[in-house]
Structure 1
Amino acid sequence: MHDWAAHITADNAVGATETTVEALLAAQPPLPSPPSYGKASIGDVLRSAAAVLGLSGAENVLKLPAAPRICVVLVDGLGKSLLKQRSAHAPFLRTVMAADSSGEHPRTLHAAFPSTTATSLSSLGTGEVPGRHGMVGYDVLDPRQDKVVNLLGNWDGGVDPLRWQPCPTIFEKLGTTVPSTTVSLPKFATSAMTRAALRGSEFRGATSTHARVETAVEALAATPTALVYLYWSELDKAGHAHGADSPQWERALEELDAGMKRLAATAPANTLILLTADHGMVDVPRSNRIDFSVFPELVKGVRHTAGEPRMVHLYLEPGATAANRAELMASWLERFGKLAWVITREQAIAAGYFGEVSESVSARIGDVLIVARESVAFYDLRRVRPQAIEVVGQHGSITKAEREVPLLRIPVTAKAPGRKSKRR
């Protein structure tokens, strides 16, 4: 633990009227350790794959085996704990997990922080920590415009993806030395998120999961060496709408399982197939989805709110003092200290949550961060649409269920060296 957390105890404190601000802060349970950046994180997957394929300067930190073709399957929202708990609905993947005893690669990775798609996919695509690539949330403050901007599917016209995220991607580093392909939904072909985090590969769009698997196999078989990134969105979508503890989520897992079995049966025999995820998921009951804007003391002196419901950024008004910030933090701890950690930007950076942080990225991080610990989600319904509070499956925080994701090495069962699919 870092010095600021050294004296934290496990018991929450009483109200702010009966104790000091310092006591409230000190009474928080210890924060989890930071993500394993550079050792076993989502940002190490493509970087290690590129090293295997011969990229100069890249390090195979995950100790992946040699292979001329690599397919990285990114399953949106598939937490390691969820996969284990629901393995009855994934018999093929369950068999893969049970048989995966060889090799030195880790079987569990950490998502980036916050544990959300925009952040983790950017770490995957660049091999960099959030503090360097700058995609530090679902939506965050753009200090230049003094406004909150979305970093996933609804980018602001005033934000250039290549300037916001200037780090070269793994695909750009590979260049023409190794053909690289992104297989995803057609709507993402020219999206700002793709241009920010995944630029540099050939994009092949396919709508259905079946077509995406076929397209990935075709890309793998087209050249003697290849790196293919296959994005799988359906599980996350089902979880948000219905929860991970739902028949809809289980059906989506069954579809994934069938797709991975098909991929293993049709990919070229010398392909290394890796399955991982950008984050996990926890279900939040409706009673614990809270509009914090109705509590005046929780938004006092706050100019902007942003982030995810389980990892809220609070940006203070210009000229705010340390006392103003401490008062805000005490108010949050008094009301929700048993459900969430309340920390400062500096504490999060010192703890290593964002990795090494550049000066420009630091300004995008909230002055105060509300990091959910229990099954709770915080909304500012003054700025988000009312339907947002109906989301069941949530992520963004640093709990084990949200940040631990699998790394599965799926053995290819195809006999031919480069079998192509016949169906479209």
Structure 2
Amino acid sequence: MLPTPTDNGARLAAILPSGLAAVARGLGSDPDELLDLAFASSAGAVSAGAAPSAGAPAALPGLRSFVVVVADGLGQANLKARAGHARTLSSLPQKRIETVAPSTTGAALTTLTTGRLPGEHGLIGYRIMHPELGLVTTLKDWGGIRRPREWQRAEPLFALAERAGARAVAFGRPAHASGGLTEAILRGAEYVGGQRIEDRFADASRILRGPDPVFAYLYVDELDRAAHEHGWESETWLRRLEQLDAALEGFLRGLPGDVGVVVTADHGIVDVGATQQIMMDARPELLDRVAEIGGEPRLRSLYLRPGTDARAVAAAWEEAEGARAWVGTREDAIASGWFGPVHPEVAPRLGEVLVAARRQVAYYVGSDDPKSLDMVGQHGGFTSEERGIPLLLAGALAGTGFASAVASIARTRVPGALPAP
């Protein structure tokens, strides 16, 4: 049985719409109109009780420019444990929010930039089932996808910045300037590449001090990369955290007074050693009705042979791994609201049975890329450490009711939002 969710990432989905509305208010546009446009139905979207007519919260401040800084892999628990090495980050007003399920980069970043939960935007995991190509990864396997806008089904929000009177800009590494995922989640934003963390903040600072109001997304993936290779408890990860903190401190010091900043993440990280790896194919009797295994090591998606009883397979896995993993059927996970409203085209992208690590373990099969066996830092599952992420406020947003506005917009606007705790 999968754990009962209290939040399915709706507050993560509400951050950019809230920022758009704040810029609209600050520039004299109608924030309600921007929110209506941000949550207008995507093609084929499923309705789940969102309230498009709800007004912008009174607590929403007015801004000239807005920046969201996304620190990939900086979970709330990770930040709290290393607060002494991140004095700038730790000093900011903050809330703990929860990311989407699965707690993986493709699903979470798409939710952040589209305002839609995974069941609607469609990138509902790391390695998921494509109807023509079979198992593909949402981060890199875009070459054979003939209709990318049907694969990632929701429209990114950057095109709406012009309606608010702002210039949309995304800052990231040059390697991410193009590609399937970049097009899917950053479409509508001008891309500015900076190799180092400091370069990205310097570019953002320069543009924010220019003549145009700006609606910006700044992506830092160095902590996630360090965690995967060395673990988040490593000195390498700690140096990257200190690098981010120093770059942010300099950025905030030179920030114009009418610019609001949010710092958040896509997921947290847990470290899993080599002795904690579990080879799923060591128990062939558990796989005799399984056709394919997708997902990632902390959340495996089992695609079953035609005619197989998913509940019987889930029961067998529960008996074998229930002490180390949550096990449930796809139908149960969808019914619980984990992924928001799930479109009929999206549901088959998940396996019929989900195996989510609840202890500090990772599930592998012999056919996995050998490099993945070397990963230390992991995520994807449903634990508090993986799903808890920070919502930090800085610049013109510090001391405002922006976090409350995000919660209100999540509750009243995001399709399929669960009541936030």
Match of 2:18 in 1: 48
Match of 1:169 in 2: 156
SS at match of 1:407: strand
Q: Give me the whole-angstrom Cα distance separating, in 2, the residues matched to 1:219 and 1:60.
A: 28
Give the one of 284, 288, 296 matched to 1:296.
284
Distance 1:241 1:62, change over 3 A: farther
SS at match of 2:345: helix
Match of 1:65 in 2: 61
Match of 1:419 in 2: none
Distance 1:153 1:190, change over 3 A: same
Match of 1:389 in 2: 373
Q: Does the CA-based 8 Å contact 1:276-1:408 persist in structure 2?
A: yes
Q: 2:20 is aligned with what amino acid?
A: A
Give the one of 282, 296, 317 matched to 1:332.
317
Q: Give me the whole-angstrom Cα distance separating, in 1, the residues matched to 2:97 and 2:146.
A: 31
SS at match of 1:348: helix
Q: Does 1:401 align with 2:365?
A: no
Coordinate RMSD, CA, aligned: 2.0
Distance 1:53 1:142, change over 3 A: same
Pairwise CA distance, 1:289: 1.4
Distance 1:224 1:173, change over 3 A: closer
Match of 1:11 in 2: none
Q: For 1:281-324, what per-residue CA distance to the aligned partner results, in whole angstroms no more than 9, with x for missing partners?
A: 1111211112212221222221111111111111112232x2xx
Pairwise CA distance, 1:372: 1.3
Counterparts of 1:129-278 in structure 2 under 5 Å? Answer: 129-145=117-133, 147-175=134-162, 177-278=165-266
Pairwise CA distance, 1:64: 4.6
Q: Does the CA-based 8 Å contact 2:8-2:337 persist in structure 1?
A: no
Distance 1:86 1:62, change over 3 A: farther
Distance 1:61 1:148, change over 3 A: farther
Pairwise CA distance, 1:248: 1.1
Q: 1:400 is aligned with what amino acid?
A: S
Percent identity of equivalent pairs? 36
Q: Does the CA-based 8 Å contact 2:174-2:194 persist in structure 1?
A: yes
Q: Does the CA-based 8 Å contact 1:312-1:371 persist in structure 2?
A: yes
Pairwise CA distance, 1:401: 0.6
Match of 1:84 in 2: 80
Q: Give me the whole-angstrom Cα distance separating, in 2, the residues matched to 1:218 and 1:297.
A: 60
Match of 1:420 in 2: none
Which has the bigger relative contact order, CA under 8 A and spacing at least 6? 2
Match of 1:33 in 2: 5
Q: Give me the whole-angstrom Cα distance separating, in 2, the residues matched to 1:379 and 1:214.
A: 41
Q: For 1:175-209, what per-residue CA distance to the aligned partner results, in whole angstroms no more than 9, with x for missing partners?
A: 46321100001111111111112211001111111
| TM score, norm. by length of structure 2 | 0.84
Greater Rg, structure 1 or structure 2? 1
Match of 2:41 in 1: none
Match of 1:417 in 2: none
Q: Give me the whole-angstrom Cα distance separating, in 1, the residues matched to 2:59 and 2:100.
A: 20
> Which structure 1 residue ranges, 5 or more long, are not aligned?
1-27, 101-105, 414-424
Q: Give me the whole-angstrom Cα distance separating, in 2, the residues matched to 1:284 and 1:194.
A: 29
Match of 1:375 in 2: 360
Distance 1:186 1:62, change over 3 A: farther
Q: Does 1:348 align with 2:333?
A: yes
Q: Give me the whole-angstrom Cα distance separating, in 1, the residues matched to 2:274 and 2:186.
A: 35
| TM score, norm. by length of structure 1 | 0.83
Distance 1:61 1:205, change over 3 A: farther
Q: For 1:119-162, what per-residue CA distance to the aligned partner results, in whole angstroms no more than 9, with x for missing partners?
A: 000000100011100000111001234x1011102334235322
Q: Give me the whole-angstrom Cα distance separating, in 2, the residues matched to 1:166 and 1:234.
A: 28
Q: Give me the whole-angstrom Cα distance separating, in 2, the residues matched to 1:289 and 1:352.
A: 29
Pairwise CA distance, 1:330: 2.6
Q: Does 1:318 align with 2:283?
A: no
Q: Does the CA-based 8 Å contact 1:265-1:412 persist in structure 2?
A: no
Q: Does 1:358 align with 2:343?
A: yes
Match of 2:272 in 1: 284
Q: Give me the whole-angstrom Cα distance separating, in 1, the residues matched to 2:104 and 2:275.
A: 23
Pairwise CA distance, 1:263: 1.0
Q: Give me the whole-angstrom Cα distance separating, in 2, the residues matched to 1:408 and 1:386.
A: 37
Q: Give me the whole-angstrom Cα distance separating, in 2, the residues matched to 1:297 and 1:266.
A: 61
SS at match of 2:349: coil
Give the one of 111, 116, 141 matched to 1:128.
116
Q: 2:139 is aligned with what amino acid?
A: L
Q: Does the CA-based 8 Å contact 1:297-1:328 persist in structure 2?
A: no
